[in-house]
Structure 1
Amino acid sequence: MTTASKPLTEDTDPHVLPPAQAAALLEGAPWKRYAVFGDSLSVGAGDPTPGYDNLGWPARVERVLRMVEPDLRYLNTARIGATTAQALEEQAERIVAFEPDLLHVNSGANDLLRRNPDWEQIEDGLRTMYTWAAGTGAQLSVLTLGRAFVIPAFPDWTERVARLNDITRKLAREFDAVLADSWDHPLNDRENLLSEDKIHFATTGQAVLATLVLEQLAARVGTPRS
């Protein structure tokens, strides 16, 4: 959380790894073709925050992976507002053609935007997505949703997100996906976390999300954070 006299910057943020330090943790990582699939979370959408590079978390992860592998190829097909079914219909073919060896798959939040979510359908759709993604042969990764944002039209929004995160955790275990969990992270308490739309994380949050993903990728490589 920022202080009144001296707001956090990227250089002083205790929850943000500098790119060079993150790259050192990922030394020896095998990934050469990084793809990102899904909705606005996978886009990395969010307003700028003073003191932080104006980059979403996927671009930040790409930057570090490129420091490890200069010939890295990168594709982000994500679209703001996409449901899981729409993402599969619109993006799957491009992802398969790209032949990723590291594939990030976030989806599900837009499936909650209805009066009465069909939870069986939501889980079935996400399972279909994971099954397809695993079929590419890539190492999968995923983020849980943070608890900071709310949708006023849905009084039970926090409970919906928590339930979706439970599904995400279950499927991540089942499909051996790298899981970066942002639900209970201290970043959710930052006063400047949300963009003007009160939904997407501003770049102060995007920087932390990138670090969470990079730390978990490093753990998969076998180099835990020091």
Structure 2
Amino acid sequence: MCTSAESQDPYCLREGESARLLAGHPWRRFAVLGDSVAEGLAEPVPGYSEVQLADRIAAELRATAPGFEYLNLGHRGLRTREIRERQLVPALAFHPDLALVVCGGNDAFPATYRPDPVADELRTMVVALQESGAEVITVGLYNVSYSPSTEIADWLRPGLRKRMQTLSERTKAIAEELGTLHVNLTAHPAATDPNLYSSDGRHGNARSDAIALAEAVRTLGTHLEKTRQHARGN
């Protein structure tokens, strides 16, 4: 259940919304691949759940699906190539029917970011998961250049902002190319709010996770409704 501030946040889930949107969903095996966003390093915010994002998504899915299984392979500090090298094989061995892939932030943070190789690694993971029978969720990350942290020098912010935007655009293009479910947090109206970010300058906080949860659940709910309409021939 949402805590007080979260339940009143206009961008977060309303009471009963998740159960309504996810009722009857078909997924029973959920795998998460990624970096610290997948692992969960969001700082606490008073009035918001301290449960990390991937765990919260899994909990919402489990609430309406008896026998639901969840594997989180996320680990902090990894670049996209390392995520593919270390996590793709165990993810496939889990035989997921739904997979969340969160990556690219550690590639785009430094000025050495090269968009094409990062995009190729993401595409490889998505294709492999889809070919194994999983529906895949990709994510356009929050743009951490808006963090107020003193860990990011002001002169570095324009370049970082551009790189994070490029990463988001390339991820969205892959989502459209391959037909993934896509959660675009980069374009969220709250994404430029400095209060959405942790003090380390690299991550969102508990409020950002609550908003991301709402966007993920709504994306899944919209997909389910479209699938049902198609099955009805509408």
TM-score using structure 1 length: 0.88
Q: Using the alignment, how far apart are the partners of 1:209 and 1:118 within structure 2?
A: 26
Conservation of the 8 A alpha-carbon contact between 2:109 and 2:160: no
What amino acid does structure 2 have at the position aligned with 1:62? A
The residue aligned with 1:138 is 134
1:187 match: secondary structure: coil
* 1:3 matched residue in structure 2: none
**Residue of structure 2 equivalent to 1:203:** 206
Amino acid at match of 1:129: M
Give distance in 2, aligned partners of 1:183 and 1:113. 15
- For residues 111 and 100 of structure 2, what CA distance do their matches in structure 1 show? 29
**Unmatched runs of 5 consecutive residues or more in structure 1:** 1-7
Please identify runs of 4+ aligned residues in structure 1 that moved more than 6 A: none
Q: Going by fraction, where is helix more abundant, 1 or 2? A: 2
Give the structure 1 partner of residue 165 of structure 2: 162
Which one of 156, 181, 190 corresponds to residue 184 of structure 2? 181
- The percent of aligned pairs where both chains have the same amino acid is 30
Q: Given that residues 29 and 98 in structure 2 are in contact (C-alpha distance below 8 angstroms), is that contact kept between their aligned partners in structure 1?
A: yes
Equivalence for 2:41? 45
CA distance in 1, matches of 2:193, 2:73: 29
Counterpart of 2:73? 77
Tell me what 1:217 maps to. 220
Structure 2: 5+ residue stretches without partners: 147-151, 228-234
Give the alignment of 1:9-20 within 5 angstroms: 9-18=5-14, 20=16
Q: 1:19 to 1:88 in 2, by over 3 A?
A: farther
Matches within 5 A, 1:91-106: 91-106=87-102
2-side partners of 1:135 and 1:82: how far apart?
24
Task: For residues 10-69 of structure 1, give each alpha carbon's deviation from its aligned partner in whole angstroms, at most 9, with x where no partner exists.
Answer: 121111114632121111210011111011122232101100110122111111101110
Are 2:86 and 1:112 aligned?
no
Residue 163 of structure 1 aligns with an amino acid whose one-letter code is: T
User: What is the total number of aligned residue pairs between the two structures?
Assistant: 217
TM-score w.r.t. length of structure 2: 0.86
